[in-house]
A and B are shown apart, each in its own frame.
Chain A
Amino acid sequence: MAHDWEKMKKSNSDQVVDNVDAMNEIFKHLDAHSLAVASCVSRRWYVAAMDDNLWEVICTRHWPASGICIGRLKCVVNVMGGFRRLYVKWLHPLCTHSAASNSNTNSKDLDNNVVWTADQVHLSLSLLSVEYFEKLGPFATASCHGNSCTISRPQLLHKEQEKAEDGHYGKTFYKEDQRHPNWMAHFS
């Protein structure tokens, strides 16, 4: 009987694991942390957990409440690396950085309870676009201000972004950059 139980357990698990729809349905109920850990279980689970539709739900779950229109942004995010990238590289660190400055909070709890503000989302989207722009290669490395500047324009903007966050600049800094209206709106 014990042997039959083990065989049955294996075949049930195989059925579910082999069923892409079933795995997707289960993963829809996971938070970001659990989804990331699940991707480490096996090859099939890695592929299933990398489905960007799952990460889109995680990222955008609370956007309507923040007044952010998902439809317009979705195709842009997809082009610039997808929602998983947006979450892992920008939304999650931004959220944990903000929370860490307030209290000692477990990052798993943050992911379960987080409701990003519109500003946090816009900042993350802007940083995602900067990163994407930097990767465009020669196009992105035009010298800035007409000088023989070795740093690329997006890298410069990124560094300046960090300075602005630290309070280094006042309100008028970004007026010359017409290509990043989100940044201007955020810092004006």
Chain B
Amino acid sequence: MVKECKVKLKSSDDKIFEVDYAVAIQSQILNNTLGHTGCTDSALPLHNVSSQILAKVIDYCEYHVNASSTISEKDVKMWDQEFVKHLDQATLLDLLMAAQYLGIHNLQELTCQTVADRIKDKRPEDIREIFNIQNDLTPEEEEEIRCENEWAFEEEVSP
């Protein structure tokens, strides 16, 4: 039986969002919590999720709740691709962490795939730039690891 009640969620910056029960339980964490407490008037605090990201998470969950029975899988995938296409790196990573924190498997898969797509076919120095990662390898370590993975830096197969 699908519950009709509304669920209140509070972001880390104290903004309140009201969503349908069916939308909220897309999150495993919220599903478990609501399973114990039931629907209440008090807002569930999400300490690790800002309002900007929570709004996006809710957009995603609302679409997928409505899409599950009415929209084709192909169209859902297209929507997903559009959803992540123009996200800047910071937002994408925030969304990934939020999906992991809230236990929204599909969103976690989508964001991880998107991050992976942005890593593919890039050189290590490009990846460091994208993720703002400090290279903490010594020149000797870097040389050793490169040698270990020399095969991956070959461009063409020689006949």
The answer for the CA separation of A126 and B146 in the assembled complex, in Å, is 27
- Check A39–B149 contact: CB distance below 8 A: yes
Q: Collect the chain B residues with CB atoms within 8 Å of residue A100's CB.
A: 157-159
Is B157's CB under 8 angstroms from A107's CB?
Answer: yes
The yes or no answer to A139 lying at the interface (CB within 8 A) is no
The answer to the question of A188 belonging to the interface, with a C-beta cut-off of 8 Å to chain B, is no
Contact check, B119 vs A26: say whether CB atoms are below 8 A apart. Answer: yes
Could you jot down 16 A-B contacts, CB within 8 Å? A15-B93, A16-B115, A22-B96, A29-B115, A29-B116, A34-B119, A34-B121, A37-B122, A40-B137, A42-B133, A45-B133, A46-B145, A100-B159, A106-B155, A107-B157, A110-B157
Q: Is the CB of A17 within 8 A of B112?
A: no
Instruction: Give residues in B with beta carbon < 8 Å to A.
Output: 89-90, 93-94, 96-97, 100, 108, 112-113, 115-117, 119-124, 127-128, 131-137, 141-142, 145-146, 148-149, 151-159
Whether B100 and A36, one on each chain, are in contact in the complex, defined by CB atoms closer than 8 angstroms, is: no
Residue of B nearest to A38 (CB): B119
Q: CA of A62 to CA of B159 in the docked complex: distance in angstroms?
A: 26
| CA gap between A7 and B16 in the complex, in Å | 26
Query: Beta-carbon contacts of A168-182 to B below 8 Å, as 1s and 0s?
Result: 000000000000000
Q: Chain B contacts of A101 at CB under 8 A?
A: 159
Residue of B nearest to A108 (CB): B121
Q: A9, B132: Cβ atoms under 8 Å?
A: yes
A110 vs B155: C-alpha distance in the bound complex, in angstroms?
A: 12
Determine the interface band of chain A, counting residues with CB < 8 A from chain B.
35 or more
* Complex: A39 Cα to B90 Cα, angstroms: 22
- Residues of chain A lying within 8 A (CB to CB) of residue B115: 16, 26, 29
**A99: interface (CB < 8 Å):** yes
Given known pairs A9-B89, A106-B157, the reply for A17 and B96 (CB within 8 Å) is no
Q: Are B153 and A37 in contact (CB under 8 A)?
A: yes
Q: Would you give the shortest CB distance from A85 to chain B, in whole angstroms?
A: 11
- B157-A42 in contact (CB<8A): no
Is A150's beta carbon under 8 Å from chain B? no
Contact of B145 among A8, A28, A40 (CB under 8 A): A40
Assess the A13–B121 pair: CB atoms within 8 A: no
Q: Contact: B112 with A25, CB < 8 Å?
A: yes
Produce 1/0 per residue, A101-120, CB < 8 A to B: 10011111010000000000
- Bound Cα distance from A93 to B158, whole angstroms: 12
Query: Smallest distance from the beta carbon of A101 to chain B beta carbons, Å?
Result: 7
B116 near A30: Cβ-Cβ < 8 Å: yes
